């Protein structure tokens, strides 16, 4: 790939500019999965910086999980992987923020419907109550990483449908726009196979494995406010949790 020389502002943090430029190209797909990055000498020439600065930038990208070094071969782009700490309750955008990566959602559905028995039980609703269902594909760098279906009590869901669900995490909207302080969530994971709809939404094969996350989120008073089923590509997520001995 032919690259022109890029000027980097004079600064003791030149490596940050190099890192950010390469990171943005990886996210945009200029360098795709398993592509080899230009050599260190080529990057020196392109950015007009020293070998030390280039190596600092590459090391930062490696720590972010965007590239890997292969002995004697150089640096290669890794598949983007979301690291989900199950010990913390975070929205998708919050998880990706440290990488400086923008997340967007394709809103597939926003609808009101009668609550099923499962939803009545999970959201502590009365019989005959209605809920709002919001379905979204979560997209990073043009790649669909998960398909999320969320159910809310009618008063919360109706207000959420008026907000920017395409660019802002629902957790952020609940807290900043609706004034609801999130307390905690019960989370369960298992592995399922993709049906035709999920395969189409996530650009995978029918029958391919998916991680299914079932999450029931409560406000700080212990009232259930959000019941979700998230289907995630296993090659795009890594789950971590710290488990005490007792």
Overall residue count recorded for the chain in this entry: 246
Is pTM, for the whole model, over 0.75? no
48 and 112 fall within a common domain: no
137 and 221 fall within a common domain: yes
125 and 223 fall within a common domain: yes
Q: What is the pLDDT of residue 2?
A: 45
Greatest alpha-carbon pair distance for the chain in Å reads: 68
Domain harbouring 167, CATH code: 3.40.1410.10
Residue 90 lies in a domain: yes
Q: What is the pLDDT of residue 147?
A: 95
What confidence tens digit (pLDDT) does each residue in 172-211 have?
Answer: 999 999 999 999 999 999 999 999 999 999 989 999 999 9
Q: What is the pLDDT of residue 81?
A: 67
How many Å apart are CA 101 and CA 145, to the nearest integer? 14
How many Å apart are CA 185 and CA 124, to the nearest integer? 15
* Residue 154 phi, psi dihedral angles, 5° rounding: -60, -40
What are the CA-CA distances from residue 71 to residues 4, 52, 68, 74, 76 (Å)?
A: 27, 19, 10, 7, 11
Element (H, E) at 63: helix 51-63
Domain harbouring 36, CATH code: 1.10.10.10
Element (H, E) at 171: helix 170-176
State the helix-helix crossing angle for 40-47 and 51-63, rounded to 10 degrees: 110
Domain that holds residue 107: 82-240
42 and 146 fall within a common domain: no
18 and 43 fall within a common domain: yes
- Nearest one of 166, 174, 173, 211 to 192, comparing CA atoms: 211
Residue 153 lies in a domain: yes
115 and 208 fall within a common domain: yes
Q: Is the pLDDT of residue 124 over 90?
A: yes
What confidence tens digit (pLDDT) does each residue in 24-50 have?
Answer: 887 777 887 788 999 999 999 999 999
Residue 5 lies in a domain: no
Contact call for residues 157 and 131 (beta carbons, < 8 A):
yes
107 and 42 fall within a common domain: no
Q: What is the pLDDT of residue 83?
A: 66
73 and 87 fall within a common domain: no
Q: Is the pLDDT of residue 169 over 50?
A: yes
- State the total domains in the chain: 2
Q: Is the pLDDT of residue 7 over 50?
A: no
45 and 111 fall within a common domain: no
Residue 1 lies in a domain: no
- The residue that leads in pLDDT, 140 or 222, is 222
């Amino acid at each position: 790939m032919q690259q022109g020389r890029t000027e980097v502002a004079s600064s003791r943090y030149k490596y940050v500019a190099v890192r950010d430029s390469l990171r943005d190209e990886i996210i945009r797909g200029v360098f795709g999965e398993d592509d080899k990055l230009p050599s260190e000498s080529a990057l020196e020439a392109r950015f007009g910086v020293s070998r030390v600065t280039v190596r600092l930038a590459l090391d930062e990208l490696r720590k972010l999980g965007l590239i890997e070094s292969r002995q004697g071969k150089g640096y290669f782009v890794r598949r983007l992987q979301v690291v989900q700490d199950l010990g913390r309750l975070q929205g998708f955008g919050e998880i990706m923020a440290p990488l400086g990566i923008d997340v967007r959602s394709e809103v597939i559905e926003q609808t009101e419907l009668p609550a099923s028995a499962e939803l009545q039980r999970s959201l502590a609703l009365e019989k005959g109550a209605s809920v709002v269902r919001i379905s979204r594909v979560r997209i990073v760098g043009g790649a669909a990483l998960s398909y999320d279906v969320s159910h809310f009590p009618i008063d919360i869901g109706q207000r959420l449908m008026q907000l920017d669900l395409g660019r802002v995490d629902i957790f952020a909207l609940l807290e900043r726009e609706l004034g609801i302080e999130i307390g905690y969530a019960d989370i369960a994971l298992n592995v399922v196979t993709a049906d035709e709809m999920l395969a189409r939404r996530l650009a995978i094969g029918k029958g391919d494995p998916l991680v299914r996350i079932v999450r029931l989120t409560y406000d700080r008073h212990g009232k259930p406010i959000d019941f979700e089923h998230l289907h995630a590509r296993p090659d795009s997520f890594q789950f971590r949790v710290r488990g005490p001995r007792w």
